[in-house]
Amino acid sequence: MSNPTILAFVRSLPKVELHIHLDGSFSNEMLFSALKKDIDLPGHVVLAWDPESVFKIKDTLLECKTIEHFHSICTCKGKGSLQEMIKCFELFCPIVRGNYELLEALAYEFVKQQARNNVVYTEVRYSPHLLDLNGSFTKSDQPIYPEKVIQSVTEGLRRGVQEYHVTVNQILCCICWRSDWADEIVSLAEKYKIDFPCAVVGVDIAAGEAHFDGVKYPELHGPHFAAMQRAQRLGLNITLHAGEETNAQVVKRAVEEYGAMRIGHGYRGVEDADLIKYVKEKNVHFEACPTSSFETGAWIGNSGDWMAHPIKKMFQNQLSVGINSDDPTVFDCTIVDEFVLCHEAMGISIEQFEQSTQAAIGAAFIDEETKFTLRQLLETWKSNNRHYII
């Protein structure tokens, strides 16, 4: 049982979340309700990272008779594998694909949940290709209309921010295994970058780091690297998943070569003293996601010794680091849970939480006026809650 004082503190703290996936935050209740309707489901999919395997979708979903069963197969707990986590998306994303009305409703519900957790500013990321009718990790010749997805998500987000008075912007994700989508993602980000409220404020490459390996995966590396080079020329903001399943050199390459201003995860990198020095000099922000790091196997804890977690070292080395939930539905967690975990299992202090929130504001892909407003909100909270600052 968590300390009630810490829970109250975390819930009251105005939070800033820069690393959260929309599709990893979908309401299970809404998905299960949609599943009960007569929708067309694919029978199976061939996994892009394991072409020899066939992953059953329709049979697995139709076996779900209760919300509890559905929740269990759409949650990745105890497997310690990034690929196993991605397989969860292959199960529930077909329920959503091409259903623009449902996408809008899910985006609205997302804002509602962020407001409930007192997240005052969010940058939510997703792949618009992967959420359209023919989107999949496996290539096909069927047409995809990612712009329809963006428009539906944007409408849902806008309804939510208007009702709940929080701010949400979007990051569009390239998908590691679908390098054929990368250039179009950059074009879409350029098109929607001033479409406020809920504009597209940056780009990312998600679902693995194989694209960094130009020797083993030249067909992935070439298009993704070219897309990020183009994004830099266009002045787009870039955040990249890096150092989650690779090493410190990949984190450095993400910054030096790909133009990343922020790093999603980066846990494997901070064990390297030279990289720590480098990212401090470059003021690189780390988007840390505690529960995710354990469930994907990005961090292999020694008997669950969270005091040895790289996030602890990030704070100790005074790096710019924010706390995020990544995929709260898939990992069955909330941003409140993540803060509590950091405090109770890693010993991250209340003062460090405030510093972390300030760091996230500074690293957010927003204008200085919006950052000033968020800082003022945090200062007002601090002046009214000094009894927590101990």
Q: What is the mean pLDDT of residues 49-64?
A: 85
Q: From 93, 111, 136, give the residue that closes a domain.
A: 93
Are residues 66 and 104 located together in one domain of the fold? no
Q: How confident is the model at residue 1, as a pLDDT?
A: 54
Q: How confident is the model at residue 220, as a pLDDT?
A: 98
Of the pLDDT bands very low, low, confident and very high (cuts 50, 70, 90), residue 315 is very high
Of the pLDDT bands very low, low, confident and very high (cuts 50, 70, 90), residue 387 is low
390 is a domain residue:
no
147 is a domain residue:
yes
Long-range contacts of 269-273 (CB under 8 A, 24+ apart): 269/242, 269/243, 270/243, 270/310, 270/313, 270/314, 270/317, 270/319, 271/310, 271/313, 272/247, 272/248
Are residues 58 and 146 located together in one domain of the fold? no
Are residues 347 and 360 located together in one domain of the fold? yes
Q: How confident is the model at residue 4, as a pLDDT?
A: 83
CB 114 within 8 A of CB 120: no
Are residues 202 and 270 located together in one domain of the fold? yes
Alpha-carbon distances, residue 88 vs 118, 134, 138, 189 (angstroms): 27, 17, 15, 27
Q: What is the mean pLDDT of residues 24-40?
A: 93
User: What would the 3-class secondary structure string for 296-364 be?
Assistant: CCCCCCCCCCHHHCHHHHHHHCCCEEEECCECHHHHCCCHHHHHHHHHHHHCCCHHHHHHHHHHHHHHC
Are residues 115 and 208 located together in one domain of the fold? yes
Are residues 72 and 177 located together in one domain of the fold? no
Q: How confident is the model at residue 158, as a pLDDT?
A: 98
Q: From 40, 64, 93, give the residue that closes a domain.
A: 93
Q: Tell me if residue 94 falls in helix, strand or coil.
A: helix
389 is a domain residue:
no
Q: How confident is the model at residue 38, as a pLDDT?
A: 77
Write the pLDDT tens digit of every residue in 228-255: 999 999 999 999 999 998 999 999 999 9
Q: How confident is the model at residue 389, as a pLDDT?
A: 54
Are residues 210 and 136 located together in one domain of the fold? yes
Are residues 125 and 69 located together in one domain of the fold? no
49 is a domain residue:
yes
User: 14-23, 145-154, 348-357 — which is least confidently predicted?
Assistant: 348-357
Are residues 77 and 165 located together in one domain of the fold? no
161 is a domain residue:
yes
Q: What is the mean pLDDT of residues 164-172?
A: 98
Q: What is the mean pLDDT of residues 115-124?
A: 98
Between β-strands 239-242 and 200-206, what pairing exists: parallel, antiparallel or unpaired? Answer: unpaired
Are residues 134 and 45 located together in one domain of the fold? no
User: Domain with 212 in it: what CATH number?
Assistant: 3.20.20.140
Are residues 72 and 149 located together in one domain of the fold? no
Q: How confident is the model at residue 379, as a pLDDT?
A: 94
Which pair of structure tokens corresponds to residue 327? 């995929």
Q: How confident is the model at residue 302, as a pLDDT?
A: 64
Q: What is the C-alpha separation between 94 and 74, in angstroms, rounded? A: 12
Which pair of structure tokens corresponds to residue 199? 């504009």
Of the pLDDT bands very low, low, confident and very high (cuts 50, 70, 90), residue 390 is very low
388 is a domain residue:
no
Q: From 45, 67, 93, give the residue that closes a domain.
A: 93
Q: Which domain holds residue 68?
A: 29-93
Structurally, how many domains does the chain consist of?
A: 2
User: 75-79, 83-87, 298-302 — which is least confidently predicted?
Assistant: 298-302
Of the pLDDT bands very low, low, confident and very high (cuts 50, 70, 90), residue 348 is very high
Q: What is the C-alpha separation between 329 and 295, in angstroms, rounded? A: 13
Q: What is the mean pLDDT of residues 14-31?
A: 98
Are residues 82 and 230 located together in one domain of the fold? no
